[in-house]
Amino acid sequence: MPRITFNHDYNHRWPSRAVTAFKAGWTGSVKAEVAEAAIPKYATAAPKYAKVLADGRLPDSGRGGKLARSDDADHVGAVVRDQVLDGAGE
């Protein structure tokens, strides 16, 4: 499915006479039929990642953005015993 950005409002009429409205500024994946009809006048093809910074990097999503490495945390995978809960030390 092609990914496009609508530059103008576009109403796509399907063979069943149903209409799907796309608002200007919307970016997303659409069926090939919609892309073929809309791209000449109402839309442009969008890159895979629509928001790219000037230096070519993707913006930080605010969801961490960093992969965990093996040396990130010393306690990962370690067995931790709580004396109160599991009777450790008895």
pLDDT in tens, 7-22: 999 999 999 999 999 9
Other CB atoms within a 10 A radius of the CB of residue 63 amount to: 6
* Residue 28 confidence (pLDDT): 87
By percentage, how much of the chain surpasses pLDDT 70?
52
Other CB atoms within a 10 A radius of the CB of residue 6 amount to: 21
Closest CA to 28 of 10, 15, 16: 10
Find out whether 38 and 32 touch, Cβ atoms under 8 Å.
no
pTM greater than the 0.85 cutoff: no
Closest CA to 5 of 36, 29, 33, 21: 29
Look at residue 77 and give its three-state secondary structure: coil
